[in-house]
Structure 1
Amino acid sequence: MARDAQETRQRLLDAARTEFAEHGLEGARVDRIAKAAGVNKERIYGHFGNKEQLFEAVLSAALAEAAELKPGAGLTDPVSYAAATFDFHRSNPQLIRLMMWESLQRQRLSPEAAARRARFYTEEAQRLAAPGTDSEDARFVLYGILALATWAQALPVASSMVFGGAPDPRGLRERIEKAVAALVES
């Protein structure tokens, strides 16, 4: 019975991830999530409480997966980290979409989620910082890396306008590496 409950929970998370990435929190429908998961929609409420809590569970799972799977996990070189982040998000566009929907449709995170993410980003900034770099500068460097490495996937239309057409991913990756190297030098 417990195994079946875990399988149902995972099917719901998988279906919800697709639904939320496509439609956001407000546009997602529990009926579609339940149908895609092959379960009664009451299972959503039984496992997660409500749609908002399901969204938070989906986003938390996606962020944890990214932290584990991103090739840059554990890297201390900011340039390599930026390249790995760019590559990861090109191959996994749902995470950026989920985070964008979160920014558009949620006013705040739960205290637990906010603390977990703050800890993650603090650790990332410290790991990537050169010895002697103060906390504010380390955070700015991380912010710059994340912005450069995710912008093209987050806003492809704007990127096309800036570059006069869809940028070549390989060339863009190289330019991001150069930009991060210059950012770190300064």
Structure 2
Amino acid sequence: MAWDTEGTKRKIREAAVREFAAHGPDGTTVERIARSAGVNKERVYNYFGDKRSLFSHVLRDELAKVAQAVPVESFAKEDVGDYAGRVYDYHRERPELARLLRWEGLAFDGEVPDEELRREYYRYKLAAVVDGQEHGTVTTSIDADHLIFLVLSLAGWWTAVPQVARMLTQPLTEEEEARRRASVVEAARRLARTP
């Protein structure tokens, strides 16, 4: 019987996302990830290296997933608010990414692994803002890099600090979820609006 290498790697990555999102890179163990994946820990080391390498791999994969799931080409053609709403939806459905990013900020001092490579995931978003500014559909009163950072923050902060959202807003119901999304969309549009 042939060993399903790709299936095993997928199980390890899925288990690692769950464990790292819950406990961070310093708070989980390769043994716990392996147990959750239903494999021995030697498989984890063989396929992904040490725990830090696995964390970097998982985060890189999760960033690639969001880039693919929520693409943007140009805010000269696309509405900034609609984009922010789609990013909000992604984070609401997959809150692990926000948690992984917060853990990364806590665990790594200075430059993070694969930082230059990962900048590519953000460059196309920045280019979309620049294109919108060049075509007059997006304000130039906020620099493009700051504007895209603010839009992403508006969309993702709800899942990054759900406890603060819970304390400041109404209990989470379908209506409240829709209200939050509508606020994100409107706020992004106002931020990007040309005078």
Structure 1 and Structure 2 fold alike (TM over 0.5): yes
Residues 1:3 and 1:68: Cα distance change in structure 2 (over 3 Å): farther
The equivalent residue for 2:182 is 174
What's the offset of the Cα at 1:45? 1.2
SS in 1 for 2:182: helix
Query: Residues 28-49 of structure 1, C-alpha deviation per residue, up to 9 Å, x if partnerless?
Result: 1111111122211111111111
The equivalent residue for 1:81 is 83
State how 1:25-174 maps to structure 2 within 5 Å.
25-70=25-70, 72-74=71-73, 76-107=78-109, 108-110=111-113, 113-129=114-130, 130-132=132-134, 137-163=143-169, 166=172, 168-174=176-182
What's the offset of the Cα at 1:74? 4.5
What's the offset of the Cα at 1:116? 2.0
After TM superposition, the score normalised by the length of structure 1 is: 0.87
What's the offset of the Cα at 1:166? 4.8
What's the offset of the Cα at 1:165? 5.2
What's the offset of the Cα at 1:3? 6.3
Name structure 2 gaps, 5 residues minimum.
Answer: none
What's the offset of the Cα at 1:2? 8.4
After TM superposition, the score normalised by the length of structure 2 is: 0.84
Amino acid corresponding to residue 84 of structure 1 in structure 2: R
Tell me which protein shows more helix as a share of its residues.
1
Q: Which moved more, 1:82-91 or 1:168-177?
A: 168-177
Contact 1:16–1:58 under 8 Å retained in 2: yes
Counterpart Cα distance in 2 of 1:7 and 1:49 = 17
| Bigger relative contact order, structure 1 or 2 (CA pairs below 8 A, ≥6 apart) | 2
Runs of at least 4 residues off by over 6 Å: none
Amino acid corresponding to residue 159 of structure 1 in structure 2: A
Name structure 1 gaps, 5 residues minimum.
Answer: none
Contact 2:73–2:124 under 8 Å retained in 1: no
Counterpart Cα distance in 1 of 2:188 and 2:50 = 41
Calculate the aligned-residue CA RMSD, in Å.
2.3
SS in 2 for 1:147: helix
